[in-house]
Amino acid sequence: MTDTASTDLTGRSALVTGGSRGIGYAIALELARRGAAVVITGRKPEPLDEAAAALRDAVPGSVVTAVAGNTGDPEHRTDAVAAAVANGGIDILVNNTGINPTAGPLMDADLGAVRKTFDTNVVAALGYVQEAYRAGMKDTGGAVVNIASIAGLRPTGLIAAYGASKAALIHLTEELAWQLGPSIRVNAVAPGVVKTKFADVLLAAGEDVVGQTYPMNRVGTPEDIAATVAFLVSDAASWITGETIRVDGGKLATGGM
């Protein structure tokens, strides 16, 4: 049985990228509920500020800071990490920001869009880890969770470039876990289809129709992913690193996508 105290995050400082909506917002909310001070990032200042206000309303007394900017901008990454450090250090980093500007056959893919996908989904994630490491995680330790996808574990045919970038992120997770242990743990979460605006293209046939292809007979929710992330960054997961946990309602257990 897991000790409740081992999942408490009081006194810890977290940075969640792409935290204005969807999975990122749900993660930030769960971390705040468990006592962490949270910094969220997003490209657009107004919705990001609204999300931060909503988080503070949902968890009275919580410390939530919004830092707007582009995740591909090194200066923005520095500012976001600095905001977390101002809350007492940086103990938790969740690389949630992801884009999927291209879909369909790779032979038709615009290479500029593919390059942008890898820059945002992989290179920027590494950039955040480097920033957090230099800003104090090197000395105090911490936990990193990268939000990957089951599209990085099996080919989809539809979101191929995105899937390839998430496969790279999964491998990056393992490399970082090896290099940064024992004081810094690095894991990934690979969601199936989750009911968010980001997944609209995958839900085109209808949520119920898509859900029927899952053993759990539904698609995921942002809260499903948030609960797993909160576990991975807590002391309850102190001997888990280098892992990619599928949170996919059993989808890959069916043997297909």
Catalytic residues: 162
The answer to whether the CB of 52 falls within 8 A of the CB of 66 is: yes
- How is the chain classified by DSSP, letter by letter? ---GGGG--TT-EEEETT-SSHHHHHHHHHHHHTT-EEEEEES-HHHHHHHHHHHHHHSTT--EEEEES-TT-HHHHHHHHHHHHTTT---EEEE--------S-GGG--HHHHHHHHIIIIIHHHHHHHHHIIIIIHHH-EEEEEE--GGGTS--SSSHHHHHHHHHHHHHHHHHHHHHTTTEEEEEEEE--BSSGGGGGGGTT-HHHHHTTSTTSS-B-HHHHHHHHHHHTSGGGTT--S-EEEESTTGGGGT--
User: What is the spatial distance between Cα 91 and Cα 160, in angstroms, rounded to a whole number?
Assistant: 33
